[in-house]
Each structure stands twice: as C-alpha cells, then as structure tokens.
Amino acid sequence: MKIAIGADHAGFAYKEELKNFLTTQGHEVTDFGTFSDISTDYADYAHPVAMAVKEQKADFGILLCGSGNGICMTANKHQGIRAALCWHTEIAVLARQHNNANILCMPARYISVEQAKIMALQFLATEFEGGRHLNRINKIAVC
C-alpha cells in the first residue's frame, strides 16, 4: 500500500517512527516532511499529503501535529479528502468503516508512539462498510 505521511515539528518524532514501522510492514511510504523538530507550520505538510491522496498517488495519508486539529482541518479543505482526527484505535477503525476516511490524523502530544502504530495499522487494514454509510459520505462534499 502507498502511504503519504507528514507532520509539523510536534509530530516529527512520531512521523519518523511511523515511517520506519510502516516500511517494515511492507508499505511504501512517501514522506512530505517536516524533516526536523524546528518549529514549522502544519499546513505546509497537510496540503501535499492531501494532494497525494486526492490525486491517487497514495492510497492513504497519515498526518500528525500536537493536537491533531490543525493538520486535520487543513487536509479537510481538499475536496475528496476525509481526514479523521483519531486518538483511540476504535475511533480509527470507525473512521474507515463508517466515514471512509482516507487520511488518519493523530495528536502526537496526547497519544503514545505505540498507540500511533496500532492505530495506523488498524486504519490501513479496515475496509469501508458502504451501505447506509455511502449515502452519508455522498453528502459531505459542498460542490
């Protein structure tokens, strides 16, 4: 599976851990930065990850920042992107099953790196249920 990943300075360390972990799990990971823990703007990484998913250059995206909110809000500005802020495995699974989320956003300051790894694996392994949820998904886009 092709994964686009990005983070600001607050999520940098987790991004590096996840990138290496997902590669060992057989995924192809494209890193859109940041490449250090120096203070930076989350939008600079959310936009390229969202574009990679939108343009189908990646199957899914993973984004991290301190609270997860800023990076998630930014990614969701792109049509066709359904970025979900997740802090628990069950939420990540439901985001895929019920919302067909295509980007997993996580709050690096509020979860452990082990939780992030488990959430990422579960998110990537979970299928969208479709059915009644498809009607709801079709009502998200403004255009």
Cis amide leading into 74 (omega within 30):
no
Residue 45 domain flag: yes
120 assigned to some structural domain = yes
| Separation of alpha carbons 100 and 81, rounded Å | 10
Task: List pLDDT tens digits, range 38-55.
Answer: 999 999 999 999 999 999
DSSP SS3 for 39 = coil
For residue range 60-112, list pLDDT tens digits in order: 999 999 999 999 999 999 999 999 999 999 999 999 999 999 999 999 999 99
Which residue(s) pair with 28 in the sheet?
2
Is 117 among the domain residues?
yes
Residue 70: give the domain boundaries.
2-137
**What is the distance, to the nearest Å, from the Cα of residue 63 to the centroid of all Cα atoms in its chain?**
4
- Looking at the domain assignment, is residue 41 inside a domain? yes
Residue 142 lies inside a defined structural domain of this protein: no
What is the pTM for the complete model shown?
Answer: 0.96
| CATH number of the domain to which 19 belongs | 3.40.1400.10
Indicate whether 88 belongs to any domain: yes
* Total domains in the fold of the chain: 1
Q: What are the beta bridge partners of residue 93?
A: none
Q: Let me know if residue 108 belongs to a domain.
A: yes
Indicate which residues carry an active-site annotation.
65, 98
Q: What is the pLDDT of residue 130?
A: 87
Q: Is residue 125 part of a domain?
A: yes
